[in-house]
């Protein structure tokens, strides 16, 4: 069993992906997509990860399991209701949840380097607080802010 398989087994998906009435939370990616993207990202203990688009919090919880106590996950969502929900569900000191527009990254989470990305193509689906936020122009900084992408940083020279 790989560390990803262990992390996926450790996190109860239904806790994150279902609402109190048992219906699926709209801000949840398909489990197969999450698994495939996490395999590509190759997160390991001690890594620092920036996730843009917290959504249900499921991927955030799996990332927390992967980075362990020595790593760090910062997850940003424009929807404060979603970040508050995820905060209530995730019990990991290695996770920081931020309610903000992730288009500009999160400077306190830096340094991060581009190359290993995970996330949504843009914003969040229409849902709890209405439509996607307006697109904003890219700005220069030390972080790669390709809209809706997360980055992993941690083990030497990975490209």
Catalytic residues: 29
Decide if 48 contacts 68 (C-beta within 8 A).
no
Helix (H, G, I), strand (E, B) or coil at 21: coil
Q: Nearest to residue 14, comparing CAs of 49, 54, 61?
A: 61
Decide if 39 contacts 8 (C-beta within 8 A).
no
Return the residue matching tokens 């203990």. Answer: 45
Q: Nearest to residue 55, comparing CAs of 90, 22, 8?
A: 90
Decide if 74 contacts 53 (C-beta within 8 A).
no
Return the residue matching tokens 């109190």. Answer: 20
Give the count of beta carbons closer than 10 Å to the beta carbon of residue 1. Answer: 7
Decide if 119 contacts 92 (C-beta within 8 A).
no
């Amino acid at each position: 069993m790989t560390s990803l398989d262990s992390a996926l087994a450790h996190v109860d998906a239904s806790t994150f992906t279902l609402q109190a009435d048992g219906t699926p939370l709209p801000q949840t990616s398909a489990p197969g997509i999450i698994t495939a993207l996490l395999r590509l990202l190759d997160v390991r203990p001690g890594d620092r990860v920036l996730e843009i688009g917290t959504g249900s919090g499921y991927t955030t919880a799996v990332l927390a399991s992967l980075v362990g106590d020595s790593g760090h996950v910062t997850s940003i969502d424009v929807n404060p209701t979603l970040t508050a929900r995820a905060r209530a569900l995730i019990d990991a000191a290695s996770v920081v949840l931020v309610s903000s527009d992730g288009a500009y990254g999160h400077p306190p989470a830096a340094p991060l380097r581009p190359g290993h990305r995970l996330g949504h193509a843009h914003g969040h689906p229409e849902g709890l607080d209405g439509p996607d936020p307006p697109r904003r122009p890219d700005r220069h900084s030390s972080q790669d802010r390709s809209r809706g992408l997360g980055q992993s940083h941690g083990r030497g020279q990975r490209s």
